[in-house]
Chains A and B, each alone.
Chain A
Amino acid sequence: MSQPTPAAGNAAVAPPEVRPLLQVRDLAVDFKVPTKGSLRAASLRAVAGVNLDAMRGEILGVVGESGCGKSTTGRAILQLLKPSQGTVTFDGVELTTLPRGRMRAMRRRMQMIFQDPYASLNPRMTIGELIEEPLLVHSGATARERRARALETMDLVGLNARWHERYPHELSGGQRQRVGIARALVSNPDFIVADEPVSALDVSIQAQIVNLLESLQEDLGLTILFIAHDLAVVRHLCDRIAVMYLGTVVEIGDCETLYNQPQHPYTQALLSAVPIPDPLVETERRRRILVGDVPSPLSPPSGCRFRTRCWKAQEICATETPTLTSRNSGHQAACHFPETSAPAPQPTPADR
């Protein structure tokens, strides 16, 4: 299952003197699932050898469809799930072998924003208590200092101070997500995993939160791993993008290159499936419609995991697992037959 570390490829992404804030190497996560007719649980590899780098101050998007392992990757990076293989190096410290106490101290610097803020907020605590809670764990601040810091953070995420004594059920979905963001930011972290933070929100509210994340990143210099299934949001927000399919990264590169010249067939199909809110563009577009469904991760295809749905697949795709390879600067794809000079989807004259 192990994949060689594409050190050479990453050198193309990161100038050698810049060390990434986060380095993920060959990360794998297994889940035990019950099997029919057997007492032994089967092992399901949800993440199967992921390699990622996040540079200081960038927003790295991780996209893919349900079950591709993007959320599991995010949780394994924060050590909320125990990886069964691989390393996660954060600012030079290897996290997978870190003792619990030191990991807890490290968490102050690595926080998470969840998709459904309502499910992650204790309904019996006030907004103020919820936002101060991480400080109880991560700092020796006094009650007065905590309160001041909570109010400061509320202001930062655009929550009126009058909400401090209120409860989560009194807030709208967008405001709850602001509380979720405030909880993540209150301990002054440098790295955030944002797991589908805008998926549950209506478009007009989603835009408010996207803009908020964008300005927070700029103002605080945060590094964000932005996990999402909405490719348009990811393109809008992220500097670089990793595309995942069935537990592996199939393509990674900077935003514009990846969108204009996708190399992996899956990335091409994924991009062509996204509807564009413009009827004139939609009637002109040719879609690459994929056949069938994603295979079960319990018995993934041999070789390239995408080959069962790929229109380019040949014999080698079943026998040899393609690794992430760099073919032009800032861009890697794991495919035996990548599109090297893909016709770029013509950007329409922006009518914004």
Chain B
Amino acid sequence: MPLLEVQDLRTEFRAAQGSVTAVDGVSFSVDAGEMVALVGESGCGKSATAQSIMGLIVPPVGQVTGGKVLFEGRDLLTMKAGELRAVRGKGIAMIFQDPMTSLNPVLTIGKQLTESLRLHLGLSGRAARARAVELLEMVRIPAPETRLSSYPHQLSGGMRQRVMIAMALSCEPRLILADEITTALDVTIQAQILDLLRDLAAETGTAVLFITHDLGVVAGMAERVNVMYAGQIVERADTVELFHRPQMPYTWGLLGSVPRLDQVRGGKLRPIAGQPPELSAMPPGCRFGPRCTHARDVCVESSPALTPVRGGVDDVQLTRCWGMQDVPEGGWLSLKDRYADQLNQEK
């Protein structure tokens, strides 16, 4: 049984013109101790997915309208508030992009760290303080005792993110949701934080659902990757497969758009034409169809499902693309087309 299994999750937000579906039938799983990435551009629904898992989307702003979120076999969506509180912290912890907005500015780091230790683990004041020092040491914060009396604004962005990681790890959760945790940080600080999270997750055996827009970060962190586009997962694969044998034209486009530091200059980038659809005006059929250079009539007429790639093993590599599917009306695409695209663009 996977540690976390999300099944057909659907989340709607209220908008001026009624409601929009930000997460539309998302299914994936995370095994114990595994690092899984959810990657996509702004507005693809990756953060909304994480917030739905944590039960952070509540009316009137939005609402989870369908699906299941099974954590160790129990559905978080139907849990009572008290049970859910027990799962948060000890079962699942979350780290956000901007630690400044998730830390309380008027409480010291020590106060905020010991609070959750006392609440979730029932530690005494002294024991909680000792554990807090230990946690700050674990996230490699120098002079941890003195840091306990610091306020969030006295710390740098990187230090604050370390405190957030310490808080997330404080109750020894089985799963951490890391939502764009390095996006606001400089690249050398990002390297420190990623290094830290990778080490700590391996040491403690904590699973991580890593949410990011940065393909470079994904390549160095995750074992499996889910690519999201317009509220749906459009491709899922092992990390090496995804980067070296991507199956979906959207993934081809993403990879073609990113310049690589290790590549000699020359040749233009290969951007995807146009822009993602508005949530309130989803195109019929394949949602990537209007931007896809390989689209055919079937792509406009009906929506492809997320299915195993040709010759692939169930649930290892999946793609949501008619061109790549082994059905009578589909299957006209292969990886050769990706290379042909590249050659055409370079000419």
List chain A residues, Cβ under 8 A from B220: 275-276, 279, 282-283
In contact, B259 and A279 (Cβ under 8 angstroms): no
8 Å CB contact of A202 from B41, B194, B216, B243: B41
Which A residues lie within 8 Å of B263 (CB)?
A: 235-236, 347-348, 350, 352
With A203-B258, A204-B41 as contacts: A293 and B219 at CB distance below 8 Å:
no
* Docked complex: B200-251 residues within 8 A CB-CB of A: 213-220, 239-240, 243-244
Whose C-beta in chain B lies nearest to the C-beta of A352?
B342
Which residues of chain A are near B253, meaning CB under 8 Å?
Answer: 204
Chain A residue contacts of B262, Cβ below 8 A: 276, 278, 281, 345, 347-348
Whole-angstrom CA separation of A235 from B243 in the bound complex: 21
B-contacting residues, A326-350, CB 8 Å: 345, 347-348, 350
Min CB gap A59→B, angstroms: 11
Q: Which residues of B contact A237 (CB under 8 A)?
A: 259
A202-239 interface with B by 8 A CB criterion: 202-208, 210-211, 214, 229, 231-233, 235-237
- Residue contact A269 to B270, C-beta cutoff 8 Å: no
Residue B334 at the A interface, CB < 8 A? no
A280 at the interface (CB under 8 A from B): yes
The contact of B271 among A65, A204, A232, by CB within 8 Å, is A204
* A278 to B220 Cα, complex, angstroms: 8
A271 interface residue, CB < 8 Å from B?
yes
Please provide the chain B residues from 251 to 303 with a CB less than 8 Å away from any CB of chain A in the complex: 253-265, 267-273, 275
Name the residue among A237, A259, A274, A278 with the largest chain B CB count within 10 angstroms.
A278
B191 contacts partner chain A, Cβ-Cβ < 8 Å: yes
B146 close to chain A: CB less than 8 A? no
> How many angstroms from the CA of A292 to the CA of B140 in the assembled complex?
10
- Select one of A269, A277, A347 contacting B219, CB under 8 A: A277
Which of B7-15, B45-53, B182-190 forms part of the interface with chain A? B182-190
**Docked-complex contact A232 and B260, CB < 8 angstroms:** yes
Known: A277-B255, A278-B260, A352-B342. A202 touches B240 (CB 8 A): no
- Within the complex, which residue of A272, A274, A279 is in contact with B243, where a contact is CB–CB below 8 Å? A279
Question: Does B156 touch A at the CB level, under 8 Å?
Answer: yes
Contacts of B158 in A (CB 8 A): 293
For A290, the chain B residues whose CB sits under 8 A away are 188, 191-192
CA distance A271 to B79 in the complex (A): 47
* Residues of chain A lying within 8 A (CB to CB) of residue B268: 211, 214
| Given A207-B269, A280-B240: A66 and B186 interface contact (C-beta under 8 Å) | yes
Contact code string A274-308 (vs B, CB < 8 Å = 1, else 0): 11111111110001011011100000000000000
Q: How far is the CA of A352 from the CA of B240 in the complex (A)?
A: 16
Give A261 Cβ to nearest chain B Cβ, in Å.
14
Please determine whether A202 and B265 come into contact, CB atoms closer than 8 angstroms: no
CB-CB nearest in chain B for A175: B275
B187 and A232 contact, CB distance less than 8 A? no
Extra A-B contacts (10), CB below 8 Å, given A273-B190, A277-B216, A281-B262: A202-B42, A207-B256, A207-B257, A273-B191, A277-B260, A287-B191, A289-B191, A289-B192, A352-B256, A352-B342
Name B residues whose Cβ lies closer than 8 Å to a Cβ of A: 41-42, 142, 156, 158-159, 186-192, 194-195, 213-220, 239-240, 243-244, 253-265, 267-273, 275, 342, 346
Binding site for B on A (CB under 8 A): 65-66, 172, 174, 202-208, 210-211, 214, 229, 231-233, 235-237, 255-256, 259, 269-283, 287, 289-290, 292-294, 345, 347-348, 350-352
CB-based closest 9 A-B pairs:
A275-B216, A207-B271, A236-B259, A207-B257, A273-B191, A65-B186, A282-B220, A202-B41, A207-B269
